[in-house]
Amino acid sequence: MGRLFPLISTLALNGGVLSSQSLDQFARSATKMALTHNVIIRGMNSIYLQCQHVTPQMAASFLLYCRCWAEFIQNHHACEEIAYFPIIEKAVGVEGLSEGNLEQHDAFLAGLQRYVYHAQPIQYSGEKLTEIFDSFAATLQSHLTDKVVWIMALSRFQQLDIAAIDNYQENYAGIHATWPILVGNLAETTGLGGRVRNFWLRYVCMLAYRHAWKYSSCTVGGKPKALEGAATSPRDERLKGRDGAIELASGHSSDDSLQV
């Protein structure tokens, strides 16, 4: 089985203990992006660990989870290309500033599309899915890490209101059908924007197709859980580790946890 991929440490952004109040807008934006990217990495690792242990009876629901993970990435990157990168470039007056990110999107797109094509229950092969994953997963993981660093580097443009752009992108993205992938692979210390919204997203929206979301790495409450389709359930921090500046600093949840 291929290697697992490490989570992005949000604490490493500034190299010290942080609280949500001590983050400037660029560190806060980079942290939110890291938290979202850790959802993708947890999802990727959960598929890696389970895909070769899925039985024919499990294949349909597991592959729905797999396809939803891919759609989450596609939606995330489509929103960036429309409602994030162009706005940043216009705000700072530097055309092509985001070009490296776009090139990285293209670098793993063919592999991701091939993965979606083969993530079908007809003649399911976990070995084939792993082989396809191996063709693009490392490139994807590098991109997820590099983009966080890129956001931190935007601090050289002090006139840039990155917080406002983040809010615009989030409103543009809205509530997407792939939210269960976010919820099922999101650490408990990361809020989802208010108690009512948090409850609705974590519990209510997970009811539909819950036979697929059971393959996630976390419970609906955000706690690490044993993997449904794995032969064993290793306690791998790269899969189930907690993230977020508050969590890494104190080891427990806090009312001022970062919101995404």
- The one-letter code for the residue type at 214 is K
pLDDT in tens, 86-131: 999 999 999 999 999 999 999 999 999 999 988 888 778 899 999 9
pTM given for the model:
0.81
Residue found under tokens 């942290």 = 31
- The one-letter code for the residue type at 169 is Q
Q: How far is CA 200 from CA 42, 91, 191, 204, 209, in A?
A: 22, 35, 12, 5, 16
Which residues, 6+ apart, have CB-to-CB distance to 233 below 8 Å? 226, 227
pLDDT in tens, 137-193: 999 999 999 999 999 999 999 999 999 999 999 888 766 667 788 888 887 655 545
pLDDT in tens, 225-254: 888 877 544 444 444 444 432 222 222 222
pLDDT, residue 240, reads 43
